[in-house]
Structure 1
């Protein structure tokens, strides 16, 4: 397969950034809209946790399916389909007249939530390994910025057009992006950015094979990263879906105080993504353990700072804001480096599948976490639920990173050796 032109790679990046930004905004709207939705359907925290869990379960089940499809067929066309599904199912959620129907329609939004592996895989073929951490770090800015967009939309319009109206807006944006991706983004030869294959003028096209995919779980570092993804999903989703209500009910913040506090924290958190990616790339050039070293530093620092934050007295609002921002800086340190490492230890034709497995494992933890937090909150309080879940699961992640740091050099070298062998058999004619 001929190499793609790299002249439009930043257009491709920008398109996917827009997709993930608005998609994240749509997904995370459920957090700032939790209270009006609960009031509309007259439900408690445990029932609301079930709403979130439903979508996460559907998305989790479909991650392996999307990963397989991305490694077999055109990634841009599949991403356009995912965007169309996003817009359509969000509209259905807005139309739901009763709570059972809302649970079902909100669960259907999980279909397209499993679409990210194709983005990471395609960008890995547009950008070389040495800069992937930075690229993924910039891409993952879409998550906190999407959260801000969602907060602004929810806060500004929930009392004007209602929570249903906000869903209509974000669903329509999904339909528009579907057309942009379908018409403007082209696929790339799998493996075309790998250094070992740079002298190959015409690459042989490699697609998903069960034999190659089956070897993924033999990579011990990859298995450890998958396990940490399960535990790491708990704090992310507990904070995403319950922190608004915690500030409102647990700390007595007004709507304006909630918005200003969260915007500051999320802006600082946003800095953490590209910073972590850049640090990971820089240390990776010195040692193949570099990305994961940055990851474990972020997990340990973030855990300690978050525990201190949650124990700040309710009256000390300024101190709470400062500590929350400090912990937020380190919270995303693992994210771009873990995805980059997954690409480092897998062959190009199974990268969508490998990222999809990671996302599937994360989704299992993500599906459980809001419901578990809701159940703990009903029996104790929401603040206790958040602290217990976040600190305990982050501690487990740190231990798993230790093992991955030890094992990852061998798995990276195995991939590079196979790519060098492939290059020898695919040399272009002189």
Structure 2
């Protein structure tokens, strides 16, 4: 239990740190693609961990823990070799595939203006005067920062959408093998193989979603990242329906795979979009709040999936089938909130731009 507690603490800390580093190290034009790489790394790493340590644990559970811990020492050494980035994305790393920063992508105070914020200025969008920061974000306490972050309408919509998506994903991770085994009448070993195929589709989804959101933004579509996430979330709901109710594994596999692709494709664009609506000095705290609320949804998912299956729908194959069908409602709510964010995102981007131009040194 102590190992799980420490692991949970480290995992939770990664979210805010990664959000800040992505904003500090990478140009705004490629943050969706970078988030795609980050999330695909998480998926691939989890798959390797399950596949490698599962067999080793049958021989020795201690050996399984040791093998998982060894790469962490190498990673820690690499992290210590990295230079400390300039805050606020004022000195991003430039890759060969990203366009160079525009001449007006900053101001005299050194603040980095994102591509989305430049588009908001070009469109003449007015910020919300009540949300333009008038004090240095570094002097805001946790409660004040929380109130401010949760007053940004698009950020709240993104948090709710993220919670709904990860809630359903947590249920799939817990009961996916059992559902595939019972629903499609295949052996557990084969069901694990099916889930590996689905996981591979998820990797393709995060890479494609991040890149597509960046592409639309480059083409001058301010809502591009939010639109990609909203369409992906809606597509996931539609595609999961036939996968849940069919009994044929061959018929279900294409639906499950494309649904997993769509489910995962929504995450990199909204992660990148969130950096456009929050002041750079609040990136870490904003992500910490989102991670906390999202983790609550993930924590309750296995309990609710199991309870609904056993006590509402009578358990067994049919109970699990109808539970998955019912739990599509939070996923549908995720799509609803993202489509709703299309109306609030442009003004929130303009507000963040005005706050970043207020002269707080990063």
Q: So what's the TM-score if we normalise by structure 1?
A: 0.67
| Equivalent residue, structure 2, for 1:130 | 29
Task: Tell me, yes or no, if the aligned pair for 2:222 and 2:346 is still in contact at 8 Å.
Answer: yes
Of 186, 191, 202, 1:269 maps to 202
1:184 equivalenced with 2:81 (yes/no): yes
Deviations 1:151-173 (A, max 9, x none): 322444343x2555423321333
| Equivalent residue, structure 2, for 1:331 | 263
| Equivalent residue, structure 1, for 2:287 | 355
| Equivalent residue, structure 1, for 2:335 | 398
Quote the Cα distance in structure 2 between the aligned partners of 1:200 and 1:216. 26
Q: Shift of the alpha carbon at 1:252?
A: 3.9
Quote the Cα distance in structure 1 between the aligned partners of 2:264 and 2:139. 30
Deviations 1:166-196 (A, max 9, x none): 2332133334423332x21222111134866
What does 1:261-410 align with in structure 2 at a 5 Å threshold? 261-285=194-218, 286-313=220-247, 316-379=248-311, 380=315, 381-389=319-327, 391-410=328-347
Q: Shift of the alpha carbon at 1:245?
A: 2.8
Q: Shift of the alpha carbon at 1:376?
A: 2.3
| Equivalent residue, structure 1, for 2:98 | none
Task: Tell me, yes or no, if the aligned pair for 1:306 and 1:323 is still in contact at 8 Å.
Answer: yes
Task: Tell me, yes or no, if the aligned pair for 2:206 and 2:265 is still in contact at 8 Å.
Answer: yes
| Equivalent residue, structure 1, for 2:64 | 166
Quote the Cα distance in structure 2 between the aligned partners of 1:416 and 1:393. 32
Quote the Cα distance in structure 2 between the aligned partners of 1:193 and 1:136. 19
Q: Shift of the alpha carbon at 1:244?
A: 2.0
Quote the Cα distance in structure 2 between the aligned partners of 1:350 and 1:191. 10
| Equivalent residue, structure 2, for 1:216 | 149
Task: Tell me, yes or no, if the aligned pair for 1:277 and 1:337 is still in contact at 8 Å.
Answer: yes
Q: Shift of the alpha carbon at 1:334?
A: 1.5
Q: Shift of the alpha carbon at 1:208?
A: 6.0
Task: Tell me, yes or no, if the aligned pair for 1:232 and 1:362 is still in contact at 8 Å.
Answer: no
Q: How many residue pairs get matched?
A: 317
1:411 equivalenced with 2:348 (yes/no): yes
Q: Shift of the alpha carbon at 1:199?
A: 6.2
Q: Shift of the alpha carbon at 1:213?
A: 5.5
| Equivalent residue, structure 2, for 1:58 | none
Ranges in structure 1 where 5+ consecutive residues have no aligned partner: 1-101
Ranges in structure 2 where 5+ consecutive residues have no aligned partner: 92-100, 113-135
Of 221, 227, 241, 2:174 maps to 241
Q: Shift of the alpha carbon at 1:396?
A: 0.8
Aligned-residue Cα RMSD (Å) equals 2.6
Task: Tell me, yes or no, if the aligned pair for 1:137 and 1:336 is still in contact at 8 Å.
Answer: yes
Q: So what's the TM-score if we normalise by structure 2?
A: 0.79
What does 1:23-34 align with in structure 2 at a 5 Å threshold? none
Quote the Cα distance in structure 2 between the aligned partners of 1:322 and 1:233. 21
Deviations 1:302-346 (A, max 9, x none): 111111111111xx2222222211212211122011111110001
